[in-house]
Amino acid sequence: MSVAIVGAAECDLGVTGRSVLGLQTQAVTRALADAGLSLADVDGIATTGVARFSATQLADHLGVVPTWTDSTFAGGSAFEMFVARAAQAIEAGQCSTVVISFASNQRSARSRSLGGVFEAHTPEAQFEAPYGPLYPASYYAMAAGAYLHKYGATREQLAEVAVAAREWALLNPKAFRHEAGPLTAADVLAAPMLSTPLTAADCCLVTDGGGAIVLTSLARARDLPKPPVRVLGYGEATTHTSMTTVDDLTVTGATISGAAAFARAGLSVADVDVAQVYDSFTITVLLSLEALGFCKPGEAASFVQDGRIRPGGALPLDTSGGGLSYCHPGQFGVLLLVEAVRQLRGECGARQVAGAEVALAHGTGGILSTHATVLLGVDR
């Protein structure tokens, strides 16, 4: 493919007291500065979470008149989907420079409730609402329960995902849990039970934050200050809206999105040096690793043991600390891409994966509903 990411940045993270548009502006302008570009260069915008017409709102706020926009709302996977759409638009000549961004002030604004947003007007609500599920926690808890039952995995094995994420966060000064100290499996199991079998430590953070990336043609990218990060492949799948329509909670649409991304890139899991996999909940990671082909169904619980996904392990995973220990502003997918770009550029300091040349970023949205995979690589 002839498209590359040339800029990547976060906005302020944690508890910021800033507005959504204020955080979005930080993310976009910082990413453009990283790319050696300005708002005057931008003719494509992809974003969500700002307002009813998110891309329109952001373009107006920034004073940009784009010739291409996308505001697909697919939850945490939207940003990996945006990469595909942006690459296609740039290759087709619809635009030349695209900014993909997201930000949320959910912690400062206290806009996120434990019950989440259960849409009472949807057809499935009449079957699910009477049971009082936490949205989305109870749904991921059902998937976790099904997985543990089906494969005989243990809660301690599931907890390893959170333990590994914390180890990476301790290497990342920007991580929300950077000063919190190590986490053990016993700590995860002893945390308050949120929705059986998931405790609070199995669940992602609730923070302000966000980020942005900038894409342009590879030819143009080679004239910009930072090393280009090439878009090698992408794929997506949308499988369901309600858990009541899912035949097997342990099988996800990442099987489709991952296979498509690897096929487009002409690569396999053996080529991946670093993986950024959406970790809204610990179970999300296990299901995604299996679906993406890193291990077989039922093997992920043992696959992540013995430090495999921790710093120094064979599969560096969620190297920023992930949604579990770094930052989770409600939709984490853009920050998976930011970290993947930084790893391929060698910019991650103490958490840098030596010699990383291929990175995978995989987003999950809804209640295991939407899935999008992107493969990125250094420019050779």
Which residue among the candidates 135, 151, 234, 326 is catalytic per the annotation? 326
Told to judge if 234 belongs to the known catalytic residues of this protein, a careful annotator would answer: no
Q: Under 8 Å CB-to-CB from 304, ≥6 apart: which residues?
A: 157, 160, 161, 164, 285, 286, 289, 317
The values of phi and psi at residue 78, to 5°, are: -55, -35
Residue 264, by phi and psi: left (phi above 0), alpha (psi -120 to 50) or beta? Answer: alpha
Longest dimension (CA), the chain: 58
Q: Which two tokens stand for residue 276?
A: 């950024």
CA dihedral of 72, 73, 77, 80, whole degrees rounded to 10: 20
Told to judge if 131 belongs to the known catalytic residues of this protein, a careful annotator would answer: no
Residue 324, Cβ neighbours under 10 Å: how many?
33
d(CA 9, CA 342): 9
d(CA 267, CA 9): 27
Helix intervals (H) in the chain: 20-35, 54-62, 78-92, 106-109, 125-128, 137-151, 155-169, 185-190, 218-221, 254-265, 282-292, 300-303, 322-325, 333-345
Reduced to 3 states (helix: H, G, I; strand: E, B; else coil), residue 134 is coil
d(CA 144, CA 354): 33
Q: At what angle do helices 282-292 and 137-151 cross, to 10 degrees?
A: 60
Residues 208, 102 contacting (CB under 8 angstroms): no
d(CA 57, CA 202): 35
- Taken as a whole, the chain contains a residue count of 380
Residues 208, 107 contacting (CB under 8 angstroms): yes
The values of phi and psi at residue 61, to 5°, are: -60, -40
Which residues are known to be catalytic?
278, 326
